[in-house]
A and B are shown apart, each in its own frame.
Chain A
């Protein structure tokens, strides 16, 4: 009972003060496949919330259209779109108990009281908050409040589930638990989920599809593997996985200037362990700084004007001078000016 969401060429401009208008969304086109989790990933202020609100109908698009399944919902009232939303700041009714909060959409839909009770209790059970049904939101922890928000969204069996950074207010441990729970829950109910986050780990671990946004437009979209393995731009490369980006040494590239070379920190190997092959990148650097991350260590290597980050085994003996090699297959090349990937 789920449907895909098609967002087609959606634009949004806000009329600011003194007639100055700012364009927040620019030609955003994406499809969230039915019954899957699509993550919208981007840094703060790039328009993620605005896009989600447009899908929900809380904000009207300046241009473009939103389709749910076959239905054009661009100018349909929020309550008739079959979408439920979990808000960044919960959006609970402070004067209602948890139970009443979860029941509210059902009450508005005219569901009989007995059925309302069973359905809200079922949603609460799913999120392990059935023991706090009589409390007010103010008497809950942040994590519990967020669960109430999710339970309220689930209670109506929505076709489309929109989530706006639902885990951003939780502590690290709870976030990891909830991440897994959310995915399990989505699999169980089978709703189409659009999930907004600025956290790349959430995007990588939870999604079937990732959409990377930047400054109001889509930078790249695809499966997490695709986006991670073949970043289309330097922005995506740096944002997902923190890739090293440096002007390519003239010797490395036939094309010469204007090419940026990208290497993931974990793709650097100690030179004494691998036999260098033609096309590989070889860095002879001085260790400026080393960060220990448990089993791994991040080395900051200075080579000429460039500072490279290399992720190595913590057991690797530390020398002042270290030579690293990155395999040709693991090198990414981008046009320096446009930041767009160029074929190797």
Chain B
């Protein structure tokens, strides 16, 4: 084989993947970036370059800060709890002597259901005064009608998001727990490590790569949360559950304002890049490599 073909072969082999990446990742990104500088009229089909106007109108608009804040809140309150909760559930199920299959299926059920369909069940549970949530919690905490309260609606959405996510996190952690090497636990047992130390010094480092994967996955779905919001609150009341994704849909599809929707999309992109950056930082790197302390 000549050096020329030798040099070309890897590129040829990568070509299909490269074409897909360009077509479905790079191109849309460029298009969004370009659209942010244009005013597109979908009715007449005309477009005009407007410079930074879309940024100037969208960013100071209350909708922008609100959507950003809601997205961040939703992300923080679904990523953290569903990761911790999923890990706890996985550890508990893993510790069971019998009935592991049953509990595993039970926790996986929310993942396997359609979120839109289940959201209407949740809406019924959150219904003012007669819903399960109000009948149980209202007498204790004095709060009721979550979905109509701008201060509680996002919390309700977060509850559903966690409910949906925990099962998946638990399944992923359970799979990882099933492959942990027993010999380290034997060492730890002889070395005098109790329950917590066994977890912290053996289990947690060994779960590192899974933790990173779970984080990326939950962060991805948190930033893109749309279906729960669409099915339960439509972004309301008073935009209190409007996240970036929902705002993009609202701007672009509802108001046909493609330019401002593109600006919102760019904001979401920046957030996603930030999450990726977290995943490359020191501790995450160590976790990914099996974690070393």
Contact = CB atoms under 8 A, between A and B. Distances in A.
Interface of A: 53, 56-58, 77-79, 83-85, 87, 89-97, 100, 104-105, 108-109, 136, 152
Interface stretch (B98-106, B185-193, B225-233, B275-283): B185-193
A95 B187 CA distance: 14
Nearest to A87: B183
Given A97-B292, A108-B197, A92 B187 contact: yes
Interface in B269-293: 290-293
A229 to B, nearest CB: 37
B192 A109 contact: yes
30 contacts: A57-B189, A58-B189, A58-B190, A79-B189, A79-B190, A79-B193, A83-B190, A84-B190, A85-B187, A87-B186, A91-B183, A91-B184, A91-B186, A91-B187, A92-B187, A93-B201, A93-B205, A95-B206, A95-B208, A95-B290, A96-B201, A104-B191, A104-B193, A105-B190, A105-B192, A108-B192, A108-B193, A108-B197, A136-B292, A152-B191
A96 B206 CA distance: 11
B189 A93 contact: no
B287 to A, nearest CB: 9
B186 A96 contact: no
Interface in B27-49: none
Nearest to B287: A95
B235 to A, nearest CB: 44
Given A53-B186, A58-B190, A87-B183, 16 more contacts: A77-B189, A78-B189, A79-B192, A84-B190, A85-B187, A91-B186, A93-B188, A93-B201, A95-B201, A95-B291, A95-B292, A96-B201, A96-B293, A104-B191, A104-B201, A105-B191
A272 B206 CA distance: 69
A279 to B, nearest CB: 54
Interface string B205-230: 11010000000000000000000000
Contacts of A53: 186
Contacts of A92: 184, 187
A88 to B, nearest CB: 9
B202 interface: yes
Contacts of A93: 184, 187-188, 201-202, 205
